[in-house]
Structure 1
Amino acid sequence: MARKTGSHSDITGPRVFAAAQKLFARHGFAAVSMRQIAAEVGVQAGALYLYTPDKQTLLFDLMKTHMVDLLAAWTEICPTTGPADQLEAFTRFHIRFHLDRPDAVFIAYMELRNLEPANFEIIEDLRKRYETVLEDILRAGQEAGQFTLPDTKVATLAVIAMLTGVTTWYRDGGRLDRERVERIYWNLVRKSVAA
Structure 2
Amino acid sequence: MARTQGSHAQITGPRIRAAALRLFAQQGYAAVSMRVIAREVGVQAGALYNYIPDKQTLLHELMRDHLLELHEAVGPCLVGAAPARLEAFVRFHIAFHHARPDAVFIAYMELRNLTPENFAEIEGLRRRYEQLLAEMLHAGVEEGAFSVPDEKVASMAIIAMLTGVNTWFREDGRLSLGDVQNMYWQMVARMVSVSGTVSS
One-letter identity of the residue aligned with 1:169: W
Residue 161 of structure 1 is matched in structure 2 by 160
Give the structure 2 partner of residue 15 of structure 1.
15
Give unpaired runs (5+ residues) of structure 2: none
Q: What is the aligned partner in structure 2 of residue 128 from structure 1?
A: 127
Shift of 1:79: 4.5
What one-letter code is carried by the residue in structure 2 that aligns with 1:67? Answer: L
Q: Deviations over 1:120-153 (max 9, x none)?
A: 1111111111111100000111121111111111
C-alpha distance in 2 between matches for 1:79 and 1:123: 22
Contact 2:134 2:151 in 1 (8 A): yes
Structure 1's 71 and 172: CA in aligned 2 closer, same or farther, altered over 3 A?
same
TM-score by length of 2: 0.91
Q: Write the deviation string for residues 107-131 of structure 1: whole angstroms up to 9, x where unpaired.
A: 0011111110110111111111111
1:35 aligns with 2:35: yes
Poorly superposed stretches of 4+, deviation over 2 Å: none
Tell me the amino acid that sits aligned with residue 10 of structure 1. Answer: Q
Q: 1:45 to 1:118 in 2, by over 3 A?
A: same
Output the CA distance in 2 between the equivalents of 1:68 and 1:162: 21
Q: Percent identity?
A: 60
Structure 2: distance between partners of 1:137 and 1:9: 41
Tell whether the 8 Å contact from 1:92 to 1:182 is kept in structure 2 after alignment.
yes
- Displacement after TM superposition at 1:31 (Å): 1.0
Q: Comparing both chains, which one has the higher relative contact order based on Cα–Cα distances under 8 Å and sequence gaps of 6 or more?
A: 1
Find out whether 1:119 has 2:118 as its counterpart: yes
User: What is the match of residue 63 of structure 1?
Assistant: 63
Match of 2:101 in 1: 102
Q: Is the CA contact 1:19–1:40 (under 8 Å) kept in the aligned structure 2?
A: yes
1:91 equivalent to 2:90? Answer: yes
Partner of 1:47 in structure 2? 47
Deviations 1:57-92 (A, max 9, x none): 0000000000000000112x2352110000000000
CA contact (8 A) 1:79 1:85 kept: no
Cα distance in structure 1, aligned partners of 2:184 and 2:86: 11
CA contact (8 A) 1:35 1:45 kept: yes
2:66–2:103 CA contact under 8 A, matched in 1: yes
Q: Aligned partners of 1:160, 1:98: CA distance in 2, in Å?
A: 11
- CA deviation after TM superposition for structure 1 residue 100, in Å: 0.4
CA distance in 2, matches of 1:60, 1:79: 27
Report the counterpart of residue 175 of structure 2 in structure 1: 176
SS in 2 for 1:67: helix
Aligned equivalents of 1:79 and 1:94: distance in 2? 13
Deviations 1:133-191 (A, max 9, x none): 10000011112111111111110100000000111111222211111111011011111
C-alpha distance 160-39 of structure 1, shift in aligned 2 (>3 A): same
Q: What is the CA RMSD across the aligned residues, in angstroms?
A: 1.5
Amino acid at match of 1:152: E
Task: Give the unaligned 5+ runs of structure 1.
Answer: none
